[in-house]
Amino acid sequence: MKDILTAPFLIELVRTLTNMYAHGWDERNGGNVSVLLEEAELADFLDLNAVIRTIPTGFAAPELEGKYFLVTGTGKYFKNAQYDPAANLGVVRLTDQGAQAQLLWGFTDGGKFTSEFPAHMMSHVARWKVDPENRVVMHCHPANLLAMTYVHDLDEVKFTRTLWQMCTECIVVFPEGVNVLPWMLCGTNEIGEATAQKMESARLVVWAQHGIYGAGKDLDETFGLIETAEKAAEIWLKIAHLPLVNTISDEAMHLLEARFGVKAREGYLR
Ligand code: 2HA
Ligand code: ZN
């Protein structure tokens, strides 16, 4: 059996969490990440019959049966993951259609997965319907996107168009736009279901006055999505109070669509 601390999936997650913390997106215990793992990639590192303990999840979905996830722990600080991965992270296998999580590694101080586990698992299920390759769900609290939700209309078309207009790359990186949820109580199945529903039409879901969810095929793609939206929000906050002289026109957006082979969300461009 190889040492799991040398597993590429673990090293990549720890590097990503460290980077997210460095970006200021994950103060204290803010944020959470889950990564779908294949049984074959885990089998080199763990005895998959050795269940440490079983933790109830409080939700179920048939698509989750037998799935493995590497996930951040509740109350854990991203900044500490690199120093003690085994206390801050865990590997679980979902059984009983997701109602039970069998801990196979990690959460060594008796902890468990993030309080946002429902939103993560329901978002994975939602993304698989539109993208069977989706493996990552990421949540964090980037300051500029968060600030924007206090002063910008939360209408999804308006919010998306503003972000697209802030950097040329935005429409290329997230042509489906960003979906937005109003403020809701976090950590509940309700916000999990609402997030998952929004995830069916976009990989980015803003939680007003809280943060953002991203989903993608891998950690780089998902990090990059959030990074790009956050950069656009930063630019918007720099210019929103100034007289607007220039912008990226819808005509220019159509040129970007053609040049980069992307299609903007239906009805979002004129
Ligand atoms: O505690 O970000 O939404 C981690 C969170 C909750
Ligand atoms: Zn949060």
pTM of the model: 0.98
Q: Which residue has the tokens 């736009």?
A: 177
In this prediction, residues 8-33 reach a mean pLDDT of 98
Ligand showing the shortest atom-to-Cα distance for residue 76: 1
Q: Which residue has the tokens 């885990």?
A: 42
Task: State the DSSP H helix or E strand holding residue 235, giving kind and residue range, or none if neither.
Answer: helix 219-239
pLDDT for res 117: 97
The 10s digit of each residue's pLDDT in 205-241 is 999 999 999 999 999 999 999 999 999 999 999 999 9
Q: How confident is the model at residue 125 (pLDDT cuts 50, 70, 90)?
A: very high
Delimit the CATH 3.40.225.10 region(s) of the chain.
1-114, 116-270
Superfamily of domain 1-114: Class II aldolase/adducin N-terminal domain (3.40.225.10)
Do 34 and 69 form a contact (C-beta atoms < 8 A)? yes
Choose which residue among 32, 120, 140, 210 to substitute to test ligand 1 binding: the one with the highest number of ligand atoms within 8 A of its C-beta: 32
The 10s digit of each residue's pLDDT in 76-100 is 999 999 999 999 999 999 999 999 9
Beta carbons within 8 Å of 223's beta carbon, 6+ residues apart: 16, 19, 20, 138, 214
pLDDT for res 62: 98
β-sheet bridge partners, residue 56:
100
pLDDT for res 219: 99
Report the separation in Å between the CA atom of 12 and the middle of ligand 2, taken as the mean of its atom positions: 21
In this prediction, residues 147-156 reach a mean pLDDT of 98
Report the separation in Å between the CA atom of 209 and the middle of ligand 2, taken as the mean of its atom positions: 10
pLDDT for res 237: 98
Report the separation in Å between the CA atom of 247 and the middle of ligand 2, taken as the mean of its atom positions: 32
pLDDT for res 183: 98
pLDDT for res 109: 98
Does 230 participate in catalysis according to the annotation?
Answer: no
pLDDT for res 177: 99
pLDDT for res 36: 99
pLDDT for res 55: 98
pLDDT for res 196: 98
The three-state secondary structure class of 103 is strand
Q: CA-to-CA distance for 174 and 107, rounded, in angstroms? A: 34
Core vs surface per residue 83-98: b (16+ CB within 10 A) or e: eebebbbbbbbbbeeb
Q: CA-to-CA distance for 36 and 251, rounded, in angstroms? A: 39
Ligand 1 atom at minimum distance from 207 CA: 3
Q: Six-digit token pair at 207?
A: 């939680």
Fold annotation for 116-270: L-fuculose-1-phosphate Aldolase (3.40.225)
β-sheet bridge partners, residue 68:
37, 93
In this prediction, residues 54-77 reach a mean pLDDT of 98
Is the CB of 57 within 6 Å of ligand 1? no
Q: Six-digit token pair at 172?
A: 């290329």
pLDDT for res 83: 98
